[in-house]
C-alpha cells in the first residue's frame, strides 16, 4: 500500500488560477495564495481515500440504488413568459438580457 506522503497531491498556484478562471471567479493574489494552501489541504484530506484498495469494487455510478426513472413524452404547462423572466436581473419582457455575447451560441 502506498504511503500517505506518496499520494499527497501537489496543487499549484497555476491550478488554482485555472480553476478560478473556469469558474469565472476573479481572485486577488492573496486569495490565490490562501486558496492554494486550503485547497491543497482539502485535496490531501480527500486523497486519503486512495489508500484503499478498490480493485475489486464496482465503480458507483449513483448513490441511490435506483434505475430507469422515466417520464412519458407528455406536454406539461410551461411558465408564463413574465413569470419566467421575473427573477432575472434584466429582461426586455421577451428575453433575458445579458452583457454582450459575441460569436455563435455555445450550441451544445
Residues that bind another protein (CB under 8 A): 22-24, 61-64, 66-79, 81, 84-85, 87, 90, 92, 94-108
CA separation (Å) from 17 to 22, 30, 61, 75? 9, 12, 30, 44
- As measured in angstroms, the least distance from the Cβ of 13 to another protein is 18
Q: Which is nearer to another protein, 4 or 46 (CB)?
A: 46
Q: Which is nearer to another protein, 4 or 14 (CB)?
A: 14
Name the residue among 43, 19, 22 with its Cα closest to residue 31. 19
Q: Could you give the CA distance from residue 10 to residue 41 in angstroms, rounded to a whole number? A: 10
- As measured in angstroms, the least distance from the Cβ of 40 to another protein is 18
Amino acid at each position: 500500500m502506498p504511503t500517505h506522503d506518496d499520494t499527497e497531491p501537489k496543487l499549484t498556484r497555476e491550478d488554482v488560477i485555472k480553476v478560478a478562471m473556469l469558474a469565472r471567479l476573479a481572485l486577488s493574489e492573496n486569495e490565490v495564495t490562501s486558496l492554494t494552501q486550503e485547497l491543497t489541504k482539502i485535496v490531501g484530506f480527500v486523497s486519503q481515500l486512495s489508500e484503499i484498495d478498490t480493485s475489486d469494487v464496482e465503480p458507483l455510478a449513483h448513490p441511490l440504488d435506483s434505475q430507469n426513472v422515466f417520464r412519458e413524452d407528455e406536454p406539461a404547462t410551461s411558465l408564463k413568459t413574465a413569470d419566467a423572466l421575473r427573477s432575472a436581473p434584466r429582461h426586455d419582457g421577451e428575453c433575458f438580457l445579458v452583457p454582450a455575447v459575441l460569436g455563435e451560441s455555445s450550441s451544445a
